[in-house]
Amino acid sequence: MALVFYARVSSKDQNLDRQLARANEVKADKVFTDKQSGKDINRPGLEQMFDYIRGDDIVEVVSLDRLSRDYNDIQHLVQLLKDKKVKLIVDDLPQTNTGNPLIDQFMLDMMVNLMGFVAQNEREKIRDRQRQGIAQAKRRGAYKGRPVKYAAQSKNREGRLVYEKVRDAITSGNYKSKAQLAREVGLSRPQLYRIINRINDQDK
């Protein structure tokens, strides 16, 4: 049985000192680290840790957000640990480390589910505020929607050039097929069709 400690900070400019001090304090047998954002789980240290751990090992972190900032990823990682029969200790959740395995797992699952509820609720609130803001802007006549990249008046120079090239080809008929035209200007076919629809609307 090994005590494995995982430490993470979000960027190379930040230091791991506090987390490594904790790893030293608990006399971790193995330490894995990452200096990388927790927005996803594609991190070398995390992957190496999962390759290393075996059944009956213990993984310790100072907080759940060291594993990930995303609730779904946390849920996924916690389940992977359970599948491997590896115990997870979270320092700032002492209630998940009572010494009784059944109670510990129950409390951890409850905490993870609670975090998921809070995260989902916050996302719904953000989306609701965005919807309200857009509705108010539309009533004031101030909402213009997302800027269009491929248009005659686009602020994106590359977008304007692509639009003009497509417009010249479509209006002159100087193209073999729309699929080939899309490849020539570096667009997907749905993007090309949207530009063509925009051209047709302007010509009406």
Indicate which residues carry an active-site annotation.
10
CA 83 to chain centre: 24
Q: Which two tokens stand for residue 200?
A: 């047709």
Residue whose token pair is 């190496």: 48
Residue whose token pair is 């302007």: 202
C-alpha to C-alpha distance for 122 and 128, rounded to whole angstroms: 10
Amino acid identity at 95: Q
Give the DSSP H/E element, type plus range, for residue 5.
strand 3-9
Contact indicator for 3, 58 with CB cutoff of 8 Å: yes
* Residue 59 phi, psi dihedral angles, 5° rounding: -110, 130
C-alpha to C-alpha distance for 88 and 186, rounded to whole angstroms: 48
CA 20 to chain centre: 26
C-alpha to C-alpha distance for 99 and 92, rounded to whole angstroms: 16
